[in-house]
Amino acid sequence: MPETATLTQRVLRHPLLWPVLALLVLLLINVLVKPNFFDIRMQDGHLYGNLVDIVRNSAPVLLVALGMTLVIATRGIDLSVGAIAAISAAVACTRIVGAGDEGALTTAVLACTYALAVCIVLGAWNGFLVSVVGIQPIIATLILMVAGRGISMAITDGQITTVRNGWFSDLASGYVLTVPLAFIIALGVFALTALLTRRTALGMLIEAVGINPEASRLAGVRSRTIIWTVYAFSGLCAGIAGLVIAANTNSVNANSLGLWIELDAILAVVIGGTSLAGGRFSLTGTLVGALFIATLARTIPNIGIPSELNYLFKAVVVIAVCLLQSPKVRALFRVHRRGPSVPALAKGAA
């Protein structure tokens, strides 16, 4: 049957095959250890279960990773996302606490808007350092990574600020039509990003800048503006993530909020198949990657791995996923079709 043959072939060639497979394997492990892992029930009018938790908890990483994907596509990297998330949360929470009516919807909305505006400015600052001053992205964003924690601590005065605002809390624990609001927000940003990059020419221009900056410049691409925008967007995404994380516990701890989230986000991006060398990116891949990371986080307590073995387990999983993704290993699966090896030429074509 030639029809099905081409279908399987298409599936086999699809770049998302391996990330999705890895995710499925991880879920399978969970089910094998705890057969009730997939159980979902209704609880107080919304869905409740491991999968729901995973989806909800994936929201912050997904948000950060979306911004990171675009930054990475331009050959950059954004280390400051964790600090920006902390600043965002700090700004929003102190505003809510300081507001006259702590529990009101308008208070929450105003505070969040204000916080996100700050984050866009911070992101744009990164973009300025990278594109105008010409500092290497890793250092440019390292500056805000270091200073940003200090700023967010200065805002909260180093204390854990607790807020009591039901609307704000709903950002993380609310449900819309039984689905966690946090995930809907993340999906919304995902859809918006996809729309903005794939329905306009933005995606292609970002990729061009990432693959060959000089050629793009000569072709008239406004690479400066693009880089600037992308960092600002990353700041915005990190800001939203910060709000979601803060809402999750109704509090902000400037010191630990979003700590090392940049590593998780980068990992999600890479698992999703986007190369750190810049260029082609896959937002859907990033989505899968973020779900993978959230699932991994849930797997550890679920299958009862002792705390001291957490890192070892993560190491094994990361190596396994990478090997799965490696073209060399994949070639072993496809025994019958021996393609020409193109050593290293595929990379650094620019």
Partner 1 sequence: ACGSDSAGGDATASDDGSITMGFAQVGAESGWRTANTTSIQDSAKEAGIDLKFTDAQGKQENQIQAIRSYIQQKVDVIAFSPVVETGWDAVLNEAKAAGIPVILTDRAVDSKDTSLYKTFLGSDFVVEGQKAGQWVVDNADEADTDGDGKINVVQLEGTTGAAPAIDRGEGFADSISADPSIKVVASQTGDFTRDGGKQVMESFLQSGDHIDVLFAQNDDMGLGAIEAIEAAGLTPGKDIKIITVDAVHDGMQALSDGKINFIVECSPLLGPQLMDLAKKVLDGEEVEPRILTEETTFDQAQATEALPDRQY
Partner 2 sequence: MERNEMTQMDLESSESGTRVPADRAPVIEMRDISITFGRVRALDEVSLRLYPGEVHALMGENGAGKSTLIKALTGVYSIDAGTVLVGGDEHAFTSPAAAQAAGISTVYQEVNLLPNLTVAENMLLGREPRRFGSINVRAMNRRARERLESLGIDIDPTSDLGEHPIAIQQLVAIARAVDVEARVLILDEPTSSLDADEVAKLFEVMRRLRDQGVAIVFVSHFLDQVYEIADRMTILRNGALVEERMVAETTQLQLVKLMIGRELEALERLDREVSATTADESGTPVLKAVGIGRKGSLEATDLEVYEGEVIGLAGLLGSGRTELARLLFGADTADTGEVAIGSSRRKLRSPRHAIDRNVAFSSEDRKAEGIVGDLTVADNMLLALQASRGWLRPIPQATRNQLVEQYMAALDIRPADPTALMRNLSGGNQQKVLLARWLITQPDVLILDEPTRGIDIGAKAQIQAKVAELAAQGMAVVFISAELEEVLRLSDRLVVMRDRRKIDERPNRDVSVSDVLEIIAGEARSEQEEGDRA
Partner 3 sequence: MSAATASPAVSLWDRVKGYSPPSRFLPVIATLALFVGLFALGGVRYEGFSDPQVLLSLLIDNAFLIVLAVGMTFVILTGGIDLSVGSVVALSTMIAAKTLEMGWSPYLSMAAVLATGTLLGLLMGLLVHYFDIQPFIATLAGLFLARGLTYLISVESISISDPTFTKLAFKTVTFGDYYLRWTAIIALATVAIAAYVLARTRFGRTVYAIGGNESSAMLMGLRVAFTKVGVYVISGFCASLGGLLFSFYILSGNSLHAIGTELDAIAAVVIGGTLLTGGRGYVVGSLLGVLVLGLIRVLISFDGTLSSYWIRIITGALLLVFVVVQRFATRRQP
Give which of partner 2, partner 3, partner 1, none residue 200 binds (C-beta under 5 to 8 Å, depending on kind): partner 2
User: Which is it for strands 251-252 and 161-162: parallel, antiparallel or unpaired?
Assistant: antiparallel
Give which of partner 3, partner 1, partner 2, none residue 326 binds (C-beta under 5 to 8 Å, depending on kind): partner 3
> According to CB under 8 A, which one of 2, 304, 339, 343 is a site residue for partner 1?
304
Nearer to partner 1, 173 or 284 (CB): 173
Query: 164: closest CA among 247, 106, 59, 240?
Result: 247
Report the distance separating Cα 14 and Cα 243, nearest Å.
35
Report the distance separating Cα 119 and Cα 206, nearest Å.
21
Phi, psi (degrees; rounded to nearest 5) at 279: 100, -140
Report the distance separating Cα 172 and Cα 185, nearest Å.
10
> According to CB under 8 A, which one of 31, 40, 105, 146 is a site residue for partner 3?
146
Q: Where are the alpha helices (DSSP H) in 34-136?
A: 50-73, 81-98, 105-127
Q: Which of residues 293-332 bind partner 3 (CB under 8 A)?
A: 308-315, 318-319, 322-323, 325-329
Number of other residues whose CB lies within 10 A of the CB of residue 266 = 23
> According to CB under 8 A, which one of 139, 215, 276, 323 is a site residue for partner 2?
215
Dig out the tokens for 14 from the structure. Answer: 């699809």
Based on its alpha-carbon atoms, the radius of gyration of the chain, rounded to whole angstroms, reads 21
Whole-number Cα distances in Å, 299 to 176, 263, 269, 285: 26, 18, 20, 20
> According to CB under 8 A, which one of 44, 199, 218, 339 is a site residue for partner 1?
44
If one asks whether residue 134 binds partner 2 (CB under 8 A), the answer comes out as: no
Nearer to partner 1, 253 or 325 (CB): 253
Dig out the tokens for 45 from the structure. Answer: 């009018």
Which of 127-135, 163-171, 193-201, 223-231 is the region at the interface with partner 3 (rule: CB under 8 A)? 127-135
Report the distance separating Cα 236 and Cα 186, nearest Å.
12
Dig out the tokens for 295 from the structure. Answer: 């699932």
Give which of partner 1, partner 3, partner 2, none residue 139 binds (C-beta under 5 to 8 Å, depending on kind): partner 3
Q: Which residues contact 297 (CB under 8 A, 6 or more apart)?
A: 57
User: Which is it for strands 46-49 and 40-43: parallel, antiparallel or unpaired?
Assistant: antiparallel
Size of residue set near partner 1 by CB under 8 A:
37
Give which of partner 1, partner 2, partner 3, none residue 330 binds (C-beta under 5 to 8 Å, depending on kind): none
Q: Which of residues 81-110 bind partner 3 (CB under 8 A)?
A: none
Nearer to partner 1, 314 or 330 (CB): 314
Which residues lie near partner 3 (CB under 8 A)? 75, 79, 129, 133-140, 142-151, 153-154, 158, 254, 263, 266-267, 270, 275-277, 308-315, 318-319, 322-323, 325-329, 343-345, 347-349
Which residues lie near partner 1 (CB under 8 A)? 34, 36-37, 39, 43-44, 48-50, 53, 57, 153, 157-160, 162, 173, 245, 248-251, 253, 255-257, 297-298, 300-302, 304, 306-308, 310
